[in-house]
Structure 1
Amino acid sequence: MRIRNNVASLNALRYTNQNLQDVKGSIEKLSSGLKINRAQDAPAGLIASERLRGAIVGLQQAHSNTENSLSMVQTAESSLNGVSEILIRLKQLTVHAANEAVNDDAMLQADQIEVDNLLESLHRIAQNTSFGHQKLLNGDMGVSGTTVGNDLRFDSASPTTPPSPKDGYEVDITQVATQAKKKGLEPLTVENIGEGLKVVINEGGRNAEFEVRGQVKEEVGKIVESYQSDPQRFPKEQMSKDIRTLILFHLQNAIDDYGVNLDVFEGPDQTFTLRHRDFGEESSFSVTSDLAGLFTEEANVAEFSSSGLDVAGTINREPAFGKAQYLTAHSGSGARGVTVQYSREIG
């Protein structure tokens, strides 16, 4: 038996494969635009490249941080420009009021009204100027905090607040903040809507009036007429649902148009509920309806909403003061001045 090898062809095949690998590497570099695509291309070069990439990423993030800081400073600067204009105007009013030779009581009263408005504007700028969730001009820029827990958020702290312990301040919520609301007693149906409906709501000194008239009355009339003409084809449940949907839409529009801070919605039992958008005990409203049971027990008799509740609980195992959704540690407690928000909603 003889074994023959074609050494020349094997060498040619080896060199061809080697050239093919070199061509593949060149094509890969051309297509990616990178000199080093894998460690075998240049191990030492790859190490240097990764170090440079890390440095570049750090510089890019530092540049981004600088831009964010610049935006924050520009926001503060814009508000401070407004503060400067207010202070200049206050100085002008002070000098004007000091001219007793020509000023009478009416002029002094007008100056005082403008001063009060300017001071309110000054306070509003200080309280509302923020960048993200960070207040810029209310004095707590030196204080920051984080919270751990669902629906819990750090809001602010006073300059006298001591640093928290290593594990932080324990927050225990015993009462969730709720909203003032008025729930109807009976659902609105195609049978009890009658000739129409009128609702009057009073909230925060503002009145909202809604009455079924015009195009809304025509649409309601068509639904009632369809039901009365053929209850089998137009069943009571479906026609009542259509009326509730129609009334809800136009009632909410009327509430928004009058600037009343309420929402109206239909509950699982098909009754209407009016609910204040703000939380806490201070928010309330009254409602009157000419349809008994819709919002009130008696027709054309105003009834007040059920009161909302302020959040209640403890901070650092000490009693805290709750207002709306915000819980603030008392001035004499270990966590004095800390304010957190508990935004969970129920009902």
Structure 2
Amino acid sequence: MSLTITNNVGALNARNNLNRSSNALNKSIERLSTGFKVNRGADGPAALVISEKQRAQIAGLRTAIDNTEKAVAVVQTAEGALNEINSILIKVRSLALDSANSGVNDADAFAANQAEIDNALDTINRIAANTQFGEKALLDGSAGVTGSASDADVTFLKGGSNTSDGTYAVEVTTAGERANITAGTSQTGNLAADEVLSVNGVSITLNSGLSRAGVVARINEFTDQTGVVAEDISGGTRLRSIEFGSDAEIEVVSDTAASATSSGFGTTLDTDQGLTVIGTIDGVAATGKGNTLTSVSGASKGTVVRIGEGSDAALTASGAQGNVSIQNNALVFQIGANQNQTAQISVQSVNADALGVAVTGSKFNSLDEIDVTSFDNAQDALKVIDSAIDELSNMRGELGAFQSNTLESIANNMRSTLENTVNAESVIRDTDFAEEISKFTNNQILVQAGTSVLSSANQTSQSVLSLLQ
């Protein structure tokens, strides 16, 4: 072996190996100190790409789980309010049943029950308006299907869970009608004698000397009991029901013969029945009830509108009634880690005028209209109240199913997915300390040995001096 001093190949070799060992040692130190075996792209390009995607998924899953838990809180807030409204309706039903026991109730008892029901309905409206999650209203209809009408004679009442967004034409082909009776003889002078007028079974005493305007005012004092409004039209006295539709009826008879100085209704019992409105929504025949139309098919299915009075208070408006624009504002929850992984639910209005709408067999068109000041009214009111209770129960059932079967089930699944994804990301990126400690120890020894060998290699050139002596 030749001895040289210009190029110390052995020292170069020792230095190269020492550098490799030193780099490997530094990498082990980095992995042990950070806990990750992939700290940069150079540590494993493919592993870095996969693990970063998994990290995004892990963060998304954690946020989605939080979102789902918040959604559960929203649903529980809504259902808690619905539970209270349901309790109020049960009380209202009891009051209606009490009024139906007309054999023991006098006018004051009927009035007291009605006053308490009116107060209860005000409370329902207040709960519907004030139930919020943060500043988001839940039960006023803004979280369900909302609508607006282009014609002042049409009022949007509610939509259904299957109602699609869109604009739908409303047309009344046959006007709805209130039950109405006009006195056969026009009263032109003051009443010549006291008269007892029976309206829907309620006896109304008309004192002698009353003018036609006085007779109208006196009859209207009993509107709460009779469900009938008196008005002066074209020189005559007309009675009309408050409600529209075939369930609205009027019976009137007097104890005084019809004349110019009596009420003009005469001693023969006179009766009349209203007519239900007939029309279309979006060109498809709708179901009429009183003065409401309900779409039963097509994209507008579930839409309910109320037709207002026409030029004659006894009739609804008729003909083309413009359009009603529908928008579904269902609550949408992001319950997944990726785009469009959402769930939604509509919560319809629970205002009194949106419950018990268009119930068959009742003169009342919504819960807001119920009256219990007579036996017949109480019976009709019970049908509306029972329908309202059913609607609330169904809403609570939908919310409960959404919470249990959608939100909570998906949250449980995401927790399992999160666990497995974290495990997969850990396998790719986390440091195996047992393995890395072995490498660290090995590299540490190699660095120490390499340093010693490099020192020895640097001493080999010293042997040349012995040849020069």
TM-score, normalised by the number of residues in structure 1: 0.48
- Structure with greater contact order relative to length (CA < 8 Å, sep ≥ 6): 2
TM-score, normalised by the number of residues in structure 2: 0.36
Structure with a larger share of its residues in helix: 2
